[in-house]
Amino acid sequence: MFKRVAVVGVGFMGGSFALACREAIGCEVFGIDINPQALEKGKQLGVIQEGSTDLKSISLFEPDLVMLATPVRTFVPIAEVIKDHISKECVVSDLGSVKGRLVYRLEEILGERFVGGHPIAGTEKAGVENSLKDLFRGKRFILTPTEKTHRETKEKIKDLWTKIGSLVEEMDPYVHDFVFGVVSHLPHAVAFALMDAVERLSKEIDLFRYPGGGFRDFTRIAGSDPVMWRDIFLENSQEVVKAIEVFMSSLQRLREAIRGGKEEELTEYLRKASAKRRSLEIS
Ligand code: NAD
């Protein structure tokens, strides 16, 4: 199992991974972040043992695992730098929310020692100070190997996440982007758009002074980090745009049923949606 783990991006996810990894396999963790304050906080909180703002200094730590935990559009430039500063045996993986062609680009740069992954766990809070040791316990972890992934690389990462307490599931990188484009990226897009709409409707009265329970529940995720979400939307743009288009047609059908006073159609639309939501085993 891994003994020396380098986490690139000592934020909420990188920090949570560092804590979980240390507890599961007792490894040493070295952090790299462009923000020196994140490294300082990470050290103070005992999340990382050492840290550096210089990506190239990763070679001094001689890691046997590098985990990428920065916003997804930084992965390629980071991989271009680290590829010459880690050993051939060093495994590289990631925690990014987008896979698809990004996985193939990283594989081109890093070779068969790279395997993509996405822990299906998180919150709207960013920053290492919000890290949670048990974030991944009992949660799904999607591993996205390709036909080129080294068998040993895949098994080692699978084993690590199983020890952390996650439920590992394999998925094709492009299927991953369709699935999470719909169940994760679309709801975030809608939540951000709702905030924008309410702001535009607040010209005369500050509507944010009257948040109901529905508004609170629905918009929690709109408080997520803008840079992280900009990167997710742009990196998975094809699937996100398709999902937004389908959503807009659903919203238009709802609007037309309301505008036309179509009582039966409206009841049926709401009844189907409500029954589906209640049938799901999620709270
Ligand atoms: P975060 O903002 O808490 O942490 C990101 C960290 O990366 C910050 O400390 C930032 O300073 C650092 N960083 C940014 N660019 C960098 C660069 N070029 N080099 C080095 N460091 C850099 O964000 P997070 O929530 O931890 O998200 C990190 C990754 O995890 C993203 O790829 C995201 O898609 C993925 N993810 C997030 C969640 C979630 O719920 N937050 C869930 C699953 C996956």
CB of 11 sitting under 6 A from ligand 1 = yes
pLDDT of residue 282: 78
pLDDT of residue 281: 81
pLDDT of residue 283: 66
pLDDT of residue 191: 98
| Choice from 7, 8, 13 to test ligand 1 binding pocket (greatest atom count within 8 A of CB) | 13
Distances (CA, A) of 263 to 3, 176, 248, 270: 64, 38, 21, 11
The DSSP secondary-structure symbol of 46 reads T
Q: Which of helix, strand or coil describes residue 198?
A: helix
pLDDT of residue 164: 98
Q: 225 alpha carbon to ligand 1 midpoint, in Å?
A: 9
CB of 130 sitting under 6 A from ligand 1 = no
d(CA 223, CA 192): 8
CB of 115 sitting under 6 A from ligand 1 = no
d(CA 62, CA 58): 7
Per-residue 3-state assignment (H helix, E strand, C coil) for 136-189: CCCCEEEEECCCCCCHHHHHHHHHHHHHHCCEEEECCHHHHHHHHHHHHHHHHH
CB of 75 sitting under 6 A from ligand 1 = no
CB of 10 sitting under 6 A from ligand 1 = yes
Under CATH, domain 4-171 is a member of which superfamily?
NAD(P)-binding Rossmann-like Domain (3.40.50.720)
pLDDT, one tens digit for every residue, the chain (283 residues):
899 999 999 999 999 999 999 999 999 999 999 999 999 999 999 999 999 999 999 999 999 999 999 999 999 999 999 999 999 999 999 999 999 999 999 999 999 999 999 999 999 999 999 999 999 999 999 999 999 999 999 999 999 999 999 999 999 999 999 999 999 999 999 999 999 999 999 999 999 999 899 999 999 999 999 999 999 999 999 999 999 999 999 999 999 999 999 999 999 999 999 999 999 987 6
Structural domain boundaries of the chain? 4-171, 175-282
Where residue 114 falls (left for φ over 0; alpha for ψ -120 to 50; beta otherwise) is beta
Residue 98 in contact with residue 88, Cβ under 8 Å?
A: no
Q: Span 175-282: which CATH code?
A: 1.10.3660.10
Q: Terminus-to-terminus CA distance in the chain, angstroms?
A: 36
Closest ligand 1 atom number to CA of residue 121: 42
CB of 96 sitting under 6 A from ligand 1 = yes
pLDDT of residue 25: 97
Phi, psi of 126 (to 5 degrees): -105, 170
Burial class (CB in 10 A: 0-12, 13-18, 19+), 146: middle
Maximum alpha-carbon separation in the chain: 69
Q: 214 alpha carbon to ligand 1 midpoint, in Å?
A: 29
Nearest CA to ligand 1 atom 17: 34
Nearest CA to ligand 1 atom 4: 11
